[in-house]
C-alpha cells in the first residue's frame, strides 16, 4: 500500500473524526475488557449495551442527546445488576439476563408507541462510526478520559478485588464499592463504543482484544498493555479495511479483532508445543 493510499482517508473530515473515535474506543474497551475477561463477565457487555437502547429511545422522545440517554440508562442498569445480584443472592449472569432483556423490551415498547419516528435503528444496532459528528467526538473523548482517570485512581482496589475480593475485603479494601464502580465504568465504556460498533457487536470489542492478550500473558499489567495494542489495531485497522473494501466499519473492526484472537491462540499453542519437542 502506497503512502498516498494510506493518507487518502484523512482527506475527509468525517474520516478524521472516525479515526480519533476508533482509537479512543479501541484503547478504552480493550483495557476495560481486561477486568471483564479476568472476572468472567463477558455477558455483561452485551447486557448493558442492549439495556442502553431504552435510554436511546427515551432521549429521542425527549429531544436529548442519544449518548446522554444511553449513559444514564446504562449506569442505572449496571448499578441495578450489582444491587440485585448482591442483595438478592442471585447469580450475576441471571441478573444480567433479566435486567437487560427488560430494559431492551422497554425501549422497543416505547418506540412502538410512536407512529412516526426518524431514528435509524440499524445505526444503533450495528454502529456507524463514520457518522460521528464534532459533538459526538467530544463526548466520546470526554467519557474516555473520565473512565481512564477513574481507573488510574482506583487501580489498586480494582486489581485486588479482581483477583481475590475476600482477601481484599479483609485487608480493608471496600470490595463492594469497587465492584459498583467497575460496573459504572463498564457502562460508560459501552456507551462510548456504541457509535463505533453498535449494540450487537459492542460485547465483542470489549472481550476479544483482552481475550487475545490473555493467550499471551497471565500477568495483569502486560495483559492490559497488550489488550490496548490489540484494541487499537482492531479499531484503526478495521476502519482502514472497511474504507477500502467498502464494508460495514463495525463488523470489519470486530472481524479483525477476532482474527487477532486466533493468531494469539496459535502463538500460545506453538509456545506450548516447543518445550514438548525439545
Q: What is the number of H-type helices and E-type strands within the chain?
A: 12, 0
Q: Domain range holding 248?
A: 3-277
Residues 47, 141, 75: CA angle, nearest 5 degrees: 30
Nearest to 99 by CA among 114, 77, 116: 77
Q: Residue 159: its pLDDT value, please?
A: 87
Cα distances (angstroms) measured from residue 59 to each of 54, 63, 73: 9, 6, 10
Q: How far apart are CA 57 and CA 36, in angstroms?
A: 27
**CATH at 27:** 1.10.3470.10
Q: At 164, phi and psi to the nearest 5?
A: -155, 85
Q: Residue 8: its pLDDT value, please?
A: 79
Q: Residue 194: its pLDDT value, please?
A: 83
Q: Residue 122: its pLDDT value, please?
A: 60
Q: Which helix (H) or strand (E) holds 13?
A: helix 13-38
8 A C-beta contact, residue 230 and residue 209: yes
Q: Residue 32: its pLDDT value, please?
A: 92
How many domains would you assign to the chain?
Answer: 1
Q: Residue 115: its pLDDT value, please?
A: 67
Give the N- to C-terminal CA distance of the chain in Å, as an integer.
40
pTM (whole model) above 0.85: yes
From first to last of the 278 residues of the chain, give the pLDDT tens digit.
Answer: 566 767 777 788 888 898 999 999 999 999 999 999 998 888 888 888 888 888 888 888 888 888 888 889 999 999 998 888 888 778 888 888 898 889 989 988 888 777 665 555 666 777 778 888 888 888 888 888 999 999 999 998 888 888 877 777 777 888 888 889 999 999 989 888 887 788 878 888 899 999 999 999 989 999 999 999 999 999 999 998 988 888 888 889 999 999 999 999 999 998 887 766 65
Amino acid at each position: 500500500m502506497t503512502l498516498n493510499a494510506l493518507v487518502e482517508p484523512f482527506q475527509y473530515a468525517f474520516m478524521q473524526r472516525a479515526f480519533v473515535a476508533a482509537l479512543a474506543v479501541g484503547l478504552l474497551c480493550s483495557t476495560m475488557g481486561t477486568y471483564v475477561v479476568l472476572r468472567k463477565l463477558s455477558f455483561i457487555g452485551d447486557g448493558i449495551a442492549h439495556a442502553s437502547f431504552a435510554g436511546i429511545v427515551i432521549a429521542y422522545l425527549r429531544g436529548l442527546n442519544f449518548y446522554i440517554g444511553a449513559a444514564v440508562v446504562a449506569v442505572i442498569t449496571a448499578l441495578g445488576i450489582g444491587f440485585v445480584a448482591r442483595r438478592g443472592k442471585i447469580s450475576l449472569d441471571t441478573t444480567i439476563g433479566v435486567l437487560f432483556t427488560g430494559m431492551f423490551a422497554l425501549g422497543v415498547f416505547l418506540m412502538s408507541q410512536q407512529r412516526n419516528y426518524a431514528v435509524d435503528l440499524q445505526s444503533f444496532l450495528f454502529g456507524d462510526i463514520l457518522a460521528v459528528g464534532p459533538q459526538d467526538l467530544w463526548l466520546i473523548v470526554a467519557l474516555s478520559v473520565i473512565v481512564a482517570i477513574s481507573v488510574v485512581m482506583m487501580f489498586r482496589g480494582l486489581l485486588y478485588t479482581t483477583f481475590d475480593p475476600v482477601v481484599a475485603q479483609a485487608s480493608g479494601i471496600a470490595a463492594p464499592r469497587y465492584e459498583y464502580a467497575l460496573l459504572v465504568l463498564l457502562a460508560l465504556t459501552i456507551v462510548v463504543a456504541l457509535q463505533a460498533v453498535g449494540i450487537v457487536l459492542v460485547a465483542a470489542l470489549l472481550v476479544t482484544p483482552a481475550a487475545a492478550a490473555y493467550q499471551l500473558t497471565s500477568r495483569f499489567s502486560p495483559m492490559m498493555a497488550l489488550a490496548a495494542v490489540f484494541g487499537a489495531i482492531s479499531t484503526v485497522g478495521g476502519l482502514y479495511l472497511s474504507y477500502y473494501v467498502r464494508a460495514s466499519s463495525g463488523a470489519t473492526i470486530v472481524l479483525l479483532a477476532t482474527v487477532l484472537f486466533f493468531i494469539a491462540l496459535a502463538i500460545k499453542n506453538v509456545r506450548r508445543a516447543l518445550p514438548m519437542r525439545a
